[in-house]
């Protein structure tokens, strides 16, 4: 009863839905810390040339595999004597781009396909979902390699192939959530008020299906970074000497007995990034959920 009265006494808020999401996010310390870490990673990657770092491409035959803490090389040097700190920060550029971009693209394409399939049902649904099912027949790594191989090496081609790899699972999730929402009475009520399918989807469907799709998409970003690294390792993605965390992890793997901590550094970066992405996606999901 006391709770009810408090709610009643509270002044009517005029803020919109997204303002509410933002204010709930601000009250969540874990999400805020992870967001800060991600912001730091992204900003340092963008502004890498202005940070006074050493040249990430310049090697030295005598200063190879220096351990962490070596003067002049705070994070040591790699197997060709290039400064690790510079390579890790510069590497963030390509890694984050290849890790995030395919998922972002696939999120849009997959959500549209899935929402259309789930809302329209019938023949439209059959055509879209059976086409998507064909892609599920292949393991994602194999599919990425096959498409990349067919398109040829290069960053753009690996972006395209990774996007294609992530469209089917996102479409599947979007379709499942949408057809669940589609059967609820408020969709019928909205249709009964004479709204067009597009208006019903915009006002009543998207807000209710986006958060599970979004959370699933963020969980795919870490997978995407690993896949991109795999493509680079096979020579059909990023090529040496470009700094990229996955590629660095692969080239440093031969040094794991000589200098294990050094070899683990690119992996640690991938780990921190994907952990932060996952925690942020969890935080955003609960902030988007008005029931809490």
**What's CA 225's distance to the chain center, in Å?**
8
Least distance to another protein, CB of residue 137, Å = 19
Nearer to another protein, 30 or 203 (CB): 203
Structure tokens at 37: 């870490």
- Give, for 145, the enclosing helix (H) or strand (E): helix 140-151
Least distance to another protein, CB of residue 19, Å = 12
Nearer to another protein, 14 or 27 (CB): 14
Structure tokens at 57: 């491409």
- Total H helices, total E strands in the chain: 12, 0
DSSP symbol at 205? I
Q: Which residues pair with 73 in a beta bridge?
A: 70
Least distance to another protein, CB of residue 79, Å = 53
Nearer to another protein, 60 or 289 (CB): 289
Least distance to another protein, CB of residue 199, Å = 6
Least distance to another protein, CB of residue 66, Å = 55
Nearer to another protein, 6 or 72 (CB): 6
**What's CA 138's distance to the chain center, in Å?**
21
Other CB atoms within 10 Å distance of the CB of residue 71: 6
**What is the rounded CA–CA span in Å between residue 55 and residue 87?**
8
Site for another protein, rule CB under 8 A:
7-8, 12-14, 17, 184-186, 188-195, 199, 203-204, 207-208, 290-291
* Degrees to nearest 5, angle at CA 47 with 46 and 52: 145
Do the Cβ atoms of 206 and 118 come closer than 8 Å?
A: no
Least distance to another protein, CB of residue 192, Å = 5
Do the Cβ atoms of 181 and 200 come closer than 8 Å?
A: no
Nearer to another protein, 60 or 131 (CB): 131
Structure tokens at 228: 């991109």
DSSP symbol at 204? I
Nearer to another protein, 3 or 61 (CB): 3
Least distance to another protein, CB of residue 211, Å = 10
CB proximity list for 67: less than 8 A, separation 6 or greater: 76, 259, 261, 262
Nearer to another protein, 133 or 188 (CB): 188
């Amino acid at each position: 009863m006391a709770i009810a009265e408090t709610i009643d006494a509270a002044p009517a808020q005029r803020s919109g839905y997204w303002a509410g999401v933002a204010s709930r996010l601000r009250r969540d310390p874990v999400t805020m810390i992870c967001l800060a870490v991600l912001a730091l990673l992204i900003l340092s990657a963008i502004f890498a040339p202005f940070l006074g770092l050493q040249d990430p491409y310049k090697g030295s035959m005598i200063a190879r595999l220096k351990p962490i803490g070596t003067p002049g090389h705070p994070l040591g040097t790699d197997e060709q004597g290039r400064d690790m700190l510079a390579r890790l920060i510069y590497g963030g550029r390509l890694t984050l781009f290849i890790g995030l971009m395919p998922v972002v693209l696939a999120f849009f394409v997959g959500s549209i396909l899935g929402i259309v399939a789930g809302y329209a049902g019938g023949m439209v649904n059959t055509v879209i979902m059976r086409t998507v099912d064909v892609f599920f027949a292949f393991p994602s790594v194999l599919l990425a390699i096959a498409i990349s191989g067919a398109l040829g090496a290069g960053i753009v081609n690996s972006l395209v192939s990774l996007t294609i790899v992530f469209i089917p699972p996102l479409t599947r999730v979007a379709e499942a959530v949408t057809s669940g929402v589609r059967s609820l009475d408020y969709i019928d009520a909205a249709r009964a008020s004479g709204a067009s399918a597009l208006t019903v989807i915009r006002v009543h469907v998207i807000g209710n299906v986006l958060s599970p799709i979004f959370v699933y998409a963020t969980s795919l970003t870490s997978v995407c970074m690993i896949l991109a690294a795999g493509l680079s390792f096979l020579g059909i993605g990023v090529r040496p000497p470009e700094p990229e965390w996955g590629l660095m992890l692969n080239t440093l793997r031969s040094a794991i007995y000589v200098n294990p901590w050094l070899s683990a550094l690119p992996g640690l970066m991938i780990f921190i990034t994907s952990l932060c992405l996952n925690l942020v996606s969890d935080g955003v999901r609960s902030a988007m959920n008005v029931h809490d």
